[in-house]
Structure 1
């Protein structure tokens, strides 16, 4: 008879190999499924980001980063939180991305993260929680920030927090004995003093601490706290994977928000008031001649602006206006200009203008009982003139790369021989 032990060994070896192969195959399929889920979440998050649906985009990008961490996704998550209004969360995210990019030798992404950090730094709110130990001792007190325990090493230090309301509470022996709500705006710094627990509440054994909060900025409560509103900004270009490394690109070639070039073109119609010396003389063989000029004129023309974003929201550049008016003349003005957004819907600005205006008037020559009509052209004011201009725009709609504004750019010019003032109203398209 054939021994049973060798037979069992001959049967078990192939069976064990098959089981190991099946297990490996299942593991590979699971990894592929996770990678596919990460990629799908990333694409969905990017699509929502482009549509400026930030509240929906951020969780998808965060989950994609959790499933498959990468530098590109980390940058997209930080960028999404910036547009959502969580400037402290974005600031911390870009700081982490900067360190990762520097370690990986990715100079383009390191520069991008540094530019965003520089732009966000002036806007981050900071909260300092000051703790009094009292008779109970600091080691027996738990400080809660928005429900999460604050590590004692963070006490009495400024912490970056997102704009909005934050709840600071203090617990002793598992019971909350003090609580307050603090509302912070962008760039604001607030100190909160936590009182010590009453001596009667002290106990020799410290209460069990809640898990220490991660070293991340406190976020606003999700319920009842709307995201801070920000002016529309240029979104990063679409970010595919980086090929073999499986890295997702955040578009390093995109200009930072603090150095982007801004353009604007527009047209307008309106009213021009022009005053000149109507007794201007001209040399004729018959005697003196007098100009009869119209003070009220209808005008139509175009305006333009080119500049760059010197800071996060401040545009510096040059504005120019040129228009024709009903007295057969022109108005030309240009000069350095500054423009600033008020929320998401409005823009305001001012311009120091240099320019001139001309118009055609009818002259009356008088001399020796003879009079005749002769049309001449007079410059108002003659030569150099100086003035001020303003900008007030209201956003009507978003375009593919900018926005369409209902805009007025009134101006006032003063020269040696007269003055001019215009009140135009028109449309302008502004893009980056």
Structure 2
């Protein structure tokens, strides 16, 4: 064993030990009175779009998501402050991972949210987030684990160096996609998600590597415990294969839209991924075919075959969504009286249909409505017109009521 391998193993063991100290709690997030898990992918999609346009590093997004979830596990967040929390968490992460000249200013933050929040609110939220998390903002991100895994596999000659760029790009894409789905993100740790994404990338890129040997080698690095068992990887693979070709709009713009040489290479890689997923899902219908045998009571009549008689029966409705929707928000969402009800909700998948193509994706893939509730309420021209009409109707009603009262008083006086 070389000294480099020894350092890699020590670093990996140290990062795995840090995961439990900075992990959010799903049960506490579900007890939030005003925000729910439906709002989370909309906020993350907005933050990913900001990160893509400003060209931040790959570590900024997972650390931002970790700060948001940890704060929601500690403090009650109002619905109108959810976007403020997201931008403030992004601002804190940029101060730790980005260069000083690339950190957005307070003016830039106000411009990102269309001046819905002022500079004072960002400063207050930053102070409150840091104090709530006890100034502990470090967290081992997915890209750190992916780099260590790949470096270890190349050093042990288990993975060819020529296949590293495509495998790394695909693994980072899967890790970023998993963060939008709570059923995967909260059930696996960062080291497990990174290892599962790396193994899926080896399969998708068809790299000349034995999957069982790769999994055994990576699990043997940390001697304290097994990072990802084979059964857990099977569960992770079955869940990811249904969503991997249905990204949110920000990831679709980043990976599936070509514009330069790097984007064209990513688009080609994503096209091969889509074809791989279609091959895996081919021949696996969502609902089974009816296998109905003819009985004596349902024999075809004269001049009518059994197939013609069977096609006349009404079809069973087939749902294109493979999992149920999230339960509707109970009454009194603005109060704390329903926290006990929220804690009893079961986490459901909001996964898109596996038959959806990458060209027909939109924000409705997640089964969500337009993200009007993520941003603070704004006053539009139509709202002003409606309010003025309402005030006019109220004023006319008050005027007619006062006229009736004066007429009645005059009758009594006479």
Pairwise TM-score range, normalised by the shorter structure: under 0.3
The normalised TM-score by structure 1 is 0.21
Instruction: Choose between structure 1 and 2: higher helix proportion.
Output: 2
Instruction: Choose between structure 1 and 2: higher strand proportion.
Output: 1
Which one scores higher on RCO, CA 8 angstroms, separation ≥ 6? 2
The normalised TM-score by structure 2 is 0.22
